[in-house]
Homo-oligomer: A and B are copies of this chain.
């Protein structure tokens, strides 16, 4: 019998709420794993997007488009910095964020702190391509624990700090990693020329205010320059937002002029069949850093600042 051959008739679906008034449903080809860790429910499934990590019912990473997410999260701060040596990753359980960092020869050390060891183990078992390039890289140190606490504890100046954590949902473990208090600490732990970046949730014209605009406003109270950007990741069901922040001027980073040369200077090393970035180049960069009028207006006019006492929650 051919496995997965007749899924059309079988009627299995993965449904994900995308807001209080909407949901998407994907045909479910198989459930490779479904269980729960002390922190969240964890499943590895297969849909038309390929193998997919799902935590607490929300798509985290898909075989078919994870490179878009991870290149979008990692490359901008690395390009901005130019020659990063030490990188801190908050979250990053699929190990693909570490993979993109360790692809760069100048990088000497990557410390990744993820609270959920079970997710990392499941990804290693079921989604090996995500991170296998870097599992045994001696430059990588993985700490299982609270990212806030460990970040505070480690005495280090970071060239790049990458927050690859779940969206800020109520009671979720990541909530304090989106606060002014954490951003102040992050700024203090950046080396000169250092760059901070965080994934920032939904970024469409109808949901930039879920959490993105508040993250943006909060970072504006801490860093001299804050740069919002975005990529279309089909499996995420809406354009996805990121926010980069650093001291010093923006320059002409947004227009993308010179990005292809900057990538070449970073000198990423590809293994296996991959020969170059799947997604990122100068025109992609221009697309990512150019936002629609309504979104720019929305980010500009936001007044909410996220603090420990006044957190923000997206759907």
Cα distance A36–B30 in the bound complex, in angstroms: 14
Which residues on the B side are within 8 Å of A26 (C-beta)?
21-22
Interface contact A47-B65, CB-CB below 8 Å: no
Cα distance A27–B290 in the bound complex, in angstroms: 32
Interface residues of A in 159-200 (CB under 8 A from B): none
Q: How many copies does the complex hold?
A: 4
Cα distance A232–B16 in the bound complex, in angstroms: 20
Which residues on the B side are within 8 Å of A56 (C-beta)?
6, 9
Interface residues of A (CB under 8 A from B): 1-31, 34-37, 40-43, 45, 47-49, 54, 56-57, 64-65, 68, 118, 204-207, 231-232, 234, 237-239, 255-256, 277-281, 283-284, 286-287, 290-294, 296
Which residues on the B side are within 8 Å of A255 (C-beta)?
286
Interface contact A35-B287, CB-CB below 8 Å: no
Cα distance A35–B156 in the bound complex, in angstroms: 53
The chain B residue with its CB closest to the CB of A67 is B294
Interface contact A204-B234, CB-CB below 8 Å: yes
Cα distance A17–B286 in the bound complex, in angstroms: 32
Interface contact A42-B286, CB-CB below 8 Å: no
The chain B residue with its CB closest to the CB of A292 is B284
Cα distance A68–B12 in the bound complex, in angstroms: 26
Given contacts A57-B10, A292-B279, contact A36 B1 (CB under 8 A): yes
Interface contact B12-A13, CB-CB below 8 Å: yes
Interface contact B57-A28, CB-CB below 8 Å: no
Interface contact B1-A11, CB-CB below 8 Å: no
